[in-house]
């Protein structure tokens, strides 16, 4: 019993150093890398992805000249589900102003995604992610991940995790 107690009382130096190193590395994971690994993503990457609705291609060039919110999500992700009504509202409010939301589903279950879209009444295009799509957006390490892109195709802001609609709408209004 004394042996167990003594092990619990003092942390192991190696474990402490590992935890410290892990904490120091976290900011590096949060910073996106460009397609060539040379720095942060600054423009909308080129892509051609299958539509979740019907399999037709959705291309980055389809959004040329539009302000864009790109939202990486999964049907099983609760914060993603909570963001959808906000994205629907933004599409309804600003869709006529040369703006679109684009959802990118990171899972590959077509039926689940179509059911999700129908259940929540998604009114914006949803594409199926290709294996390299998260990397081309600077590394998507968690979902939801949301990108705000201006009409010139410049990446204005990245949001990792759930983003409040007031914050997103404020940022969007600044580029419309």
The fraction of the chain above a pLDDT of 70, given in percent, is 77
**CA–CA distances in Å: residue 36 to residues 98, 133, 135, 147:** 30, 14, 10, 19
What local confidence, expressed as pLDDT, does residue 40 receive?
Answer: 62
Q: Per residue in 88-143, pLDDT tens?
A: 999 999 999 999 999 999 998 999 999 999 999 999 999 999 999 999 999 999 99
pLDDT at 3 over 80: no
Burial 91-101 (b: 16+ CB within 10 A, else e): beebeeeebbb
Q: Per residue in 23-37, pLDDT tens?
A: 444 444 443 333 333
Domains and CATH numbers, the chain: 48-175 (3.40.30.10)
Tokens of 108: 């590959």
**CA–CA distances in Å: residue 9 to residues 3, 17, 20:** 10, 17, 19
Q: In which band, very low, low, confident or very high, does the pLDDT at 158 lie, cut at 50, 70 and 90? A: very high
In whole angstroms, what separates CA 120 from the centre of its chain? 18
pLDDT higher at 49 or 18: 49
pTM comes to: 0.77
What local confidence, expressed as pLDDT, does residue 12 receive?
Answer: 52
What local confidence, expressed as pLDDT, does residue 26 receive?
Answer: 43
What average pLDDT does the chain have?
Answer: 83
What local confidence, expressed as pLDDT, does residue 108 receive?
Answer: 87
Region 147-171: what's the mean pLDDT? 94
Instruction: Give the Cβ contact number of residue 129 at 10 Å.
Output: 22
Q: Per residue in 161-171, pLDDT tens?
A: 999 999 999 99
Region 143-163: what's the mean pLDDT? 95
């Amino acid at each position: 019993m004394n042996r167990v107690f003594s092990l619990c009382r003092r942390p192991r130096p190696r474990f402490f150093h590992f935890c410290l190193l892990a904490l120091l590395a976290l900011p590096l994971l949060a910073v996106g890398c460009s397609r060539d690994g040379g720095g942060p993503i600054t423009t909308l990457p080129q892509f051609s992805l299958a539509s979740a609705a019907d399999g037709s291609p959705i291309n980055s060039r389809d959004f040329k000249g539009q302000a864009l919110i790109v939202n990486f999500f999964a049907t099983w992700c609760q914060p993603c589900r909570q963001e959808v009504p906000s994205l629907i509202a933004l599409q309804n409010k600003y869709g006529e102003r040369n703006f679109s939301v684009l959802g990118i589903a990171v899972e590959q279950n077509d039926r689940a995604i179509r059911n999700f879209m129908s259940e929540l009444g998604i009114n914006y295009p949803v594409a199926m992610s290709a294996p390299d799509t998260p990397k081309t957006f600077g590394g998507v390490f968690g979902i939801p991940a949301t990108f705000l892109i201006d009409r010139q195709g410049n990446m204005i802001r990245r949001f990792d995790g759930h983003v409040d609609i007031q914050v997103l709408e404020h940022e969007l209004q600044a580029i419309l």
